[in-house]
Amino acid sequence: MWEGRPLAAFLTRRFFNDDPLGFYRFYREVLLKETQPTPIHRALAQSGALIITENIDGLHRKAGSPTIELFGNVDELYCPDCQSRYPSYLVLEGLPLCSACYQLLNPGLVLEGDPVPMFKVASCLMARAREVLIIGSTLDMAPMSYLPILARSFGARITVFTHSLTQVLTYLADLKGEPQPSPTSSEVKV
């Protein structure tokens, strides 16, 4: 929640277009938090497994995992005209503008109402996967919810660790479990 509204209300193309000052204030105050990878992120990185994530925090990438960030990340901005890329700290200085063409920069996130350009890549990879590990997500929103269904249809084994098993995940999962609270790095094995 931010200003009494759910965070999802601010992560829309409409809000960005209607109120870029408000959007980037939200971006600064809520999304640009200094975070570090957890022992789980580091253990997954050590496994060498490809991570397809719906998270926008960039922590899998920062931990060293090969990562497909389906919805982008908060670490960069881009110019919608010339496609130049910029670090997200520019939002700390006010409205971020492209230094080449002076256009308002877009967040490096997929906002509600935007296409999800990495979905095709993720779909192709899931169709070839032999094993899929789902950690912490209910996958209750499209397009992520389709990916394990696709993997299963091509014969992948599905393992799910989440506190909230949806009906679809219950049906798909070969193995189910609940994540344990706050493991130390020595306790995490993938």
Whole-model pTM?
0.85
Q: Give residue 38's pLDDT band: very low, low, confident or very high (50, 70, 90).
A: very high
> What is the mean pLDDT of the segment spanning 10-33?
95
Q: How far apart are CA 69 and CA 84, in angstroms?
A: 19
Question: What is the CATH class of 38-70+118-190?
Answer: alpha beta
Write the pLDDT tens digit of every residue in 116-170. Answer: 999 999 999 999 999 999 988 888 777 888 999 999 999 999 999 888 888 788 8
Contact 175, 156 (CB under 8 A): no
Q: How far apart are CA 136 and CA 134, in angstroms?
A: 7
Q: How far apart are CA 171 and CA 184, in angstroms?
A: 31
Write the pLDDT tens digit of every residue in 60-96. Answer: 999 999 999 999 999 999 999 999 999 999 999 999 9
Q: How far apart are CA 37 and CA 58, in angstroms?
A: 9
The H or E element spanning position 87 is: strand 85-87
Looking at residue 173, its pLDDT comes to 85
Looking at residue 189, its pLDDT comes to 47
User: What residues does each domain of the chain span?
Assistant: 1-31+73-114, 38-70+118-190
**At how many degrees (to 10) do helices 119-128 and 146-153 cross?**
30
Residue type present at position 158: I
What is the CATH architecture assignment of 1-31+73-114? 2-Layer Sandwich (3.30)
